[in-house]
Amino acid sequence: MLVKKIVDSIPTEVNKYNRFNIDKDIPKLTTEELTALVEHVRLIGYARVSTVDQAERGWSLESQIESIYSKAKEEGFQDQQILIVVEMGKSGDDPDRPALNFVLGLIKDGVGNGGKFVCLHPDRFSRSFFQGMSIYYEITNYGIDVNYIEFDYDPDNPESALMYNIHMSIAQYNKSKILANSKRGRRQKLKSGEIPGIRKIFGYDFDKETDKLVENPEEKEIYQLMVDWILNGKDGREMTCSKIAKELAKLGYKPPESNVWYQTTVSRVLRCETYKGFIYFGKSEIIQKNGKKVEIEKPKEEWFKIPVPAYIDEPTWNRVQEELDKREKRHRGRPSMHHLLKGLVRCGRCGASVASGGHSFTKNNKYYYYACTRKSTKGWVQKTGESYYQRCKGSNWRTDIIDPLIWNWVIDHLKEPEKIIQTFLEKQGNPHEIQEMQDKLSRLQSTLKDREGEKERLIFMFQKKWITPEEMNRKMEDVMKEIMEVQEEVDLLQNSLNNLLKEFDSFELLKSKLRQFYKYVTKQEHLTDQLKREILGIFINRVILYDDKVEIYAKWGEGLKVMNESGAPDPVQAIDQKFLSNRHRNYKSSQIHGRQ
């Protein structure tokens, strides 16, 4: 089952129905995979569900999928001819749904053309009448017959079209009504001082009978300990958020989540205004804009202020904020202005992120470093007080070595954009596939011409009465059947070839743009570090730093290891292990890494 094998190769969840489960990222198909789908798939199913749908009608994704699959089998489709795409929890109001876009993209590429599209109900397309009709016509324009399992729609029947319009209008009305009722109910609760559901706030419990926050005595005690320690210290020691977290863990106090006290947890709790005796609701509102959910801020006079038990007065809370500000200013993280790879680097020793790591001095120079973030502990286990993370041991990496290495690697590759394009083509499939498909198409067209000639010969023989009408019909039926099969294969192959040629044209355009970009970058006498960061972000997925090697993962291909031994992949030069050490020494009149 070729389609099954291809679908299984895609990094999405798949099951027996040749099914794509799509949440955010749209799967990228190679030319080979797309060609196989074009050749085999004759029915595309689409399933979508939201919590509103489940509450209203008891629909679930699995029940929709089973219904689509059963419908396909009833109509005689084989498993390899069925492709079901599942929208994971997206609203029907959003026209930019990843699974829907994936389906429409497949249809434009020729998948399912001339076949069927099946979904449960018209409102699976959209709860908006105009959006739903737009999607319907976009699909039918490719010669695909749209079928609904729970609605019989005949576009040529006026009564059926009227009922379809009524159903879509009702779906849109119901959606708007549900949202309006929900908002009205929340506002009414807030006006009466009640809370319409809330996430857990440390120090409080939510009383479901009164819809109010009530004291949690144990957590209130912990909060008051935090306040006391940040203001007055403990046992004569000044306490930071990290020290407070560690002390609470050692004393066995239960953290808000799991069994770990984090420095960020303490900081977040001490910054929270709720403990002054009130909580605000309605600071923002979610609205639908062009099918998208958009959060808009509301003016403070429209906020709802709900009273809750107070644990701290205003002057004391302000003192806590002042102390936190002092400590943050004193222990603020190091600036990353000298680091080009901000957000792109990870530690090869432990897998943690890498950030700016301080600096050091020599007689004439100042050196900046990358450091693994797991070198400093930020979480402690309840009761034992032990570090939750295993500290990363190893040297830091100097920016004046790592940054030029990565920058020059990218620039060297931009010199020869053909190699980048070649890598793209190899990822998409066989780079010689265009020629192979053209050769195959030529052979099929030659076969088709021969069969057309055979048809003409049969007609001539019949006209000369060299064969009987029965022989004519029997032989003509065989020839016509073969012509139709070959013609179908020609059409599919031509469609796939056209898609591949479009892709090839796109790569040629990309090659031209890369050359222009290289000229621009190399002509500039001085590029700012910020511009360099942006350029590296375009071409680099991530960089992994080890003690003795660097791994560069470009966006156009697989990772490249810059090793500490000879024979590093072209065009990057091999790097000696000494090069990655962070000890200072004078080497050939230049400051480099060196391990003595």
Cα gap 51→393, rounded to integer Å: 47
In the chain, helix, strand, coil percent, each to 5?
A: 50, 20, 35
Closest CA to 490 of 430, 440, 434: 440
The structure tokens listed for 344 are: 């792109």
128 as an active site residue: the answer is no
- The number of angstroms, rounded, from the C-alpha of 197 to the middle of its chain's C-alpha atoms is 30
- The number of angstroms, rounded, from the C-alpha of 303 to the middle of its chain's C-alpha atoms is 34
Pairing of strands 354-361, 366-372: antiparallel
Cα gap 51→10, rounded to integer Å: 28
Cα angle for residues 395, 398, 401 (degrees, 5° grid): 130
**Within a 13 Å sphere around the CA of 292, how many CA atoms are in the beta-carbon half?**
6
Determine the residue type at 105: G
| Alpha-carbon distance values, 418 to 424, 513, 554 (Å) | 10, 12, 15
φ, ψ dihedrals at 343, nearest 5° = 80, 0
Cα gap 518→413, rounded to integer Å: 9
Cα gap 152→160, rounded to integer Å: 8
371, containing H or E segment: strand 366-372
Query: 470: helix, coil or strand?
Result: helix
Cα gap 568→552, rounded to integer Å: 12
**Active-site residue identified among 9, 50, 284, 353:** 50
Determine the residue type at 453: G
| Alpha-carbon distance values, 152 to 14, 145, 161, 167, 257 (Å) | 30, 13, 10, 11, 51
| Alpha-carbon distance values, 203 to 61, 200, 206, 314, 332 (Å) | 39, 9, 10, 18, 28
Pairing of strands 284-289, 292-297: antiparallel
Cα gap 572→576, rounded to integer Å: 12
Cα gap 5→18, rounded to integer Å: 9
The structure tokens listed for 341 are: 């790879």
Characterise 594 by phi-psi region: left (phi > 0), alpha (psi -120 to 50), beta (else): beta
Residue 202 CB coordination number (10 Å): 19
φ, ψ dihedrals at 482, nearest 5° = -65, -40
Cα gap 137→141, rounded to integer Å: 6
Cα gap 527→571, rounded to integer Å: 23
> Measured on CA atoms in the order 124, 127, 130, 131, is the torsion positive or negative?
negative
398, containing H or E segment: strand 397-398
Q: Which residues pair with 559 in a beta bridge?
A: 553
List active site positions: 50
